[in-house]
Amino acid sequence: MKWANVKWIYLREVRDQLRDRRTLFTIAVLPVLLYPLLGMTFLQVAQFSREHTTPVLVLGANSLPETPRLLHEQKFDTNFASERDAKLLELTIESGLPERVALEDLPAWAEQQIQEGTYDAVIYFPDEFAQKLNDFRARMQQEHSADEAARPETAEEAIPEPELFVNTANDKSRMARDRVDSVLSRWRDSIVVDNLRDRRIPSVATKPFKVVSTDVARERSRRAAVWSKILPFIVLIWALTGAFYPAIDLCAGEKERGTLETLLCSPAERSEIAWGKLLTIMTFSMATSVLNLLSMGMTGAFVVSRIAMLGGDATTKLAIGTPPATAVFWLLLALLPLSALFSAVSLAIAAFAKSSKEGQYYLMPVLMITLPLMMLPMMPTTELDLGMSLIPVAGVMLLLQSLIEGQYLEVARYILPVMGVTLLCCLLAMRWAIDQFNKESVLFRESEQWGLGIWLRSMVRDRRETPSLAAALMCGVLLLLIRFFASFMFAMPTTWEGFAMSTVISLVAFIAVPAIMMSMLLARSPTKTLLLRSARLDATAMAALLALTLHPANVAMGVLVQKVYPYSTDILEQLKAFESVINGAPNLWVLLLVLAVTPAICEEIAFRGFILSGMRHMGHKWVAILVTSVFFGAAHMILQQSLTACVVGMVLGYLAVQTGSLLPSIAYHLTHNSLSMVMAICVPKLIEAYPGLSFLFSDGETGTLYQWPAIAVGAVLALGILNWFRNLPYEHTKEESLQEALDHQSAGLPVKS
């Protein structure tokens, strides 16, 4: 690759973007104008904001005690209501119930009054409330003189309770509830103090002490804690949106203008064109993020200063101060790899789009995937650890939070995994973008009318021997959706018979049957699609042996995953319930039939059969295996099991591709599941009977584990078996042969015949 060509393309694309008024307005002008306009609007609207009065109806005022006095001159007494609440609470006082309203009809009548807007709340004091309250106080005095404590249960039953009717679906009614409830709480506390005084007990007895809260955080630390949550999110969200619109114009826009063909005819290679466009998108992505951050910061500081000039407790809380000076440096430093990641993803998606309109539609799915990764670090319970550092985008945001807050020790512990994952994602995204530019079918896609009926007919009419990529993706998504909704529709059985029946039915009906039906409808050769071919006997035996040698490493990997991502309490309870059900199996053979044989057949038909056959039309064998493994792992629902299942799926997909048959994959899957059952049930008993086996196995917190010598020896043998499979000739798809030829041509190697 010639970097001179990359530079030439970069300068060309930047010049073209700077000539586009829409791009300049979106990236440069809009951030400068948007936030000042929003700040001006906020200040203007704030001048018209005022608090409205709250109409409240008080029923049964004659039943109130004279002391302590709750009402005074058609208002709540100022001893229990603040001056502000007494002014805003507009009371309508009635001595008793309204005419023609019985006590049992009072809730419905109050609901109607609130619904019509006559009142926001209704308070009802029952008859003889004051009399019974005085009787209660007199009884307390008598019991105190007899040196006998009163029973709270009897006292509560003796006094009728006042009722406050509100409508929580109405904002005004909720506000009225809060205001009235605070007044009634102070009034009730005053009654408690009077009762204690009658019994010659000091009021401090109800609150013998109070906790004094002392904030030991420095002002700089408090400011850093606030800004560390806000600034990374702002920078990342604008870096994403700032990358997408230039990418659409540089790819889909050039398709519409007809200038992409001219660029492809230049001496520059496709990879050089992709790199030049990537650097252009990165430039505008970083510029958008920085300009939005500066404009927002300057406008926010001005608005807060203007509000603070008005004074008041509410406004002083907004004065959180300026962010630390080092925060800007860390944000700019982290913006470089994140802009590269977002730009590469945007470039690949925009290259796939047929038009600018279609490219804009792809923005929503990208945001829906990225936003949860950005919101996760903002949760109070999320902290930087090894597990979070391995999550793309979220790990970078947590690392930025630690840098802004000055927690450099935490940063030093996890900076390598965070940056490693980020760089790996950047390389994969860029590889994806370059592959998009190497495909003529992607670059020269034509806009066409789409209809559901036309699409379904074309899928059946134009079907090939194996399913298309779209059919494979549709099958994978369909299986995940069925599995997701089935997990909520059917509860976990409590008996072995119910569990076995539900497991077999779900695997057959929800996994195997959809894949078989789709292979019959969307492929001309269901046998070739599902890889239902005979396999070499030695390949099937070697697959079972590979499962045996890799099982120690798989168990160790599962333990490592559980340490990085520990099980939650709910998941542990589900696993315990699952274990108790498993213990009810009549014998080991029935258990293996349900949990080893059935999953091995059904899941391999769906994932290594239909889905993998369709995925191989992408032209990359390993990409097809990886995507299929991701679907396979996601189908296990529990995160820890999904991660380990994804790795196992990689091996299963490799066996299916190298042998061209589903039998070796079934043999591996069957052996792997059977060993897991045997490890959990039989091995502990064998260790008790034969203590000499302790050099192979050990007892861990999660069950029986392999010793390190067994893991090492098994891994070495597994590498040898995988190399044996590597030397097997396998059948390439047309797309894989074409892609292999393109790779050899770009590398300057002779093309294989």
| 210, part of any domain | no
| 328, part of any domain | yes
Question: Tokens 């009884």, residue?
Answer: 139
pLDDT confidence of residue 671: 95
What type of residue sits at position 558?
G
pLDDT confidence of residue 158: 57
pLDDT confidence of residue 309: 62
Helix (H) or strand (E) holding 357: helix 356-361
What would the mean pLDDT of 305-327 be, rounded to a whole number?
Answer: 59
Last residue of a domain, one of 443, 476, 508: 443
Please give the Cα distance from 555 to 694 (Å, whole number).
16
Furthest-apart CA pair in the chain: how many Å?
110
> Contacts by 594-598 with C-beta closer than 8 Å and gap 24+?
594/499, 594/500, 594/503, 594/504, 595/503, 595/673, 595/677, 596/670, 596/673, 596/674, 596/677, 597/670, 598/503, 598/504, 598/507, 598/508
pLDDT single digits (tens) 492-512: 788 899 899 999 999 999 999
Most confident of 153-162, 167-176, 248-257: 167-176
What would the mean pLDDT of 100-126 be, rounded to a whole number?
Answer: 90
What would the mean pLDDT of 45-66 be, rounded to a whole number?
Answer: 79
159 has a pLDDT exceeding 60: yes
If you average pLDDT over every residue of the chain, what do you get? Answer: 83
pLDDT-derived band at 154, boundaries 50, 70, 90: very low
593 has a pLDDT exceeding 60: yes
* C-alpha separations of 532 from 45, 254, 659 in Å: 70, 45, 11
pLDDT single digits (tens) 4-31: 888 888 888 888 888 877 777 777 777 7
Q: Is residue 246 located within the same domain as residue 190?
A: no
What would the mean pLDDT of 438-458 be, rounded to a whole number?
Answer: 64
Please give the Cα distance from 347 to 270 (Å, whole number).
13
Phi-psi bin for 598: left (phi > 0), alpha (psi -120 to 50), beta? alpha
Last residue of a domain, one of 409, 443, 477: 443
Q: Is residue 156 located within the same domain as residue 26?
A: no
| 248, part of any domain | yes
652 has a pLDDT exceeding 70: yes
pLDDT confidence of residue 633: 93
pLDDT single digits (tens) 74-95: 888 888 888 888 888 889 998 8
- Specify the range with the lowest mean pLDDT, choosing from 135-149, 353-367, 402-416: 135-149
| 256, part of any domain | yes
* 447 against 304, higher pLDDT: 304
611 has a pLDDT exceeding 90: yes
Q: How many domains does the chain have?
A: 3
| 753, part of any domain | no
Q: Is residue 566 located within the same domain as residue 627?
A: yes
Q: Is residue 187 located within the same domain as residue 262?
A: no
Q: Is residue 67 located within the same domain as residue 32?
A: no
Q: Is residue 290 located within the same domain as residue 334?
A: yes
| 605, part of any domain | yes
> Contacts by 532-540 with C-beta closer than 8 Å and gap 24+?
532/609, 532/662, 533/660, 533/661, 533/662, 534/661, 534/663, 535/659, 535/660, 535/661, 535/663, 535/664, 536/659, 539/659, 539/661, 539/663, 539/664, 539/725, 539/728, 540/663, 540/664, 540/667
40 has a pLDDT exceeding 90: no
Q: Is residue 24 located within the same domain as residue 121?
A: no
317 has a pLDDT exceeding 50: no
* 729 against 215, higher pLDDT: 729
What would the mean pLDDT of 594-611 be, rounded to a whole number?
Answer: 94
- Specify the range with the lowest mean pLDDT, choosing from 207-211, 367-371, 571-575, 670-674: 207-211
Q: Is residue 644 located within the same domain as residue 677?
A: yes
Last residue of a domain, one of 205, 234, 259: 205
| 497, part of any domain | yes
Q: What percent of the chain has pLDDT over 90?
A: 27
> Contacts by 178-185 with C-beta closer than 8 Å and gap 24+?
179/54, 179/85, 179/88, 179/89, 180/56, 180/89, 180/121, 180/123, 182/85, 183/76, 183/80, 183/81, 183/85, 183/89, 184/80, 184/123
Q: Is residue 500 located within the same domain as residue 402?
A: no
Angle at Cα 355 formed by Cα 349 and Cα 360, nearest 5°? Answer: 60
pLDDT confidence of residue 433: 84
* 343 against 209, higher pLDDT: 343
Most confident of 43-52, 130-139, 393-402: 393-402
pLDDT confidence of residue 147: 52
pTM of this structure: 0.76
What would the mean pLDDT of 313-334 be, rounded to a whole number?
Answer: 68
Residue 107 belongs to what domain range?
Answer: 54-205
pLDDT confidence of residue 529: 93
Q: Is residue 423 located within the same domain as residue 522?
A: no
Q: Is residue 418 located within the same domain as residue 501?
A: no
Q: Is residue 424 located within the same domain as residue 504?
A: no
Residue 384 near residue 415 (C-beta atoms within 8 A): no
| 263, part of any domain | yes
